[in-house]
Amino acid sequence: ANTIWAYATVGVMPGSELGEGLEMQAVATMQSFNPQNVANTMWAYATLGVTPGSELVAGLERHAVAMVQGFKPQAISNTMWAYATLGLTPGSE
């Protein structure tokens, strides 16, 4: 979460191999993400103009639903902005 966020913050697109590796790592570790990690990850992809893979999006969404009570307003706002920017529609959960 922090690495892709850092790339987005400085406005630099990671190379394709690194980008794929970061996404795979996010999928593998997303269960340990807190609400801010979820929001930052989605924000980063949207800021870079890259739609993450469906496995990452679906997994982050499921994880977010499971811990929705922990989301602060800013994290909700950033996550929803990312969905809108990427043209994604949240699931019905």
> Which tens digit of pLDDT belongs to each residue from 44-53?
999 999 999 9
pTM above 0.85, yes or no: yes
Task: Check whether 92 has a pLDDT greater than 80.
Answer: no
Q: What is the pLDDT of residue 1?
A: 82
Half-sphere exposure of 46 (CA within 13 A, CB side): 19
Q: In 10 A of CB 16, how many CB atoms?
A: 8
Question: Exposed/middle/buried for 19, CB within 10 Å: 0-12, 13-18, 19+?
Answer: middle
Residue 25 near residue 63 (C-beta atoms within 8 A) = no
For the stretch 23-50, pLDDT in tens is 999 999 999 999 999 999 999 999 999 9
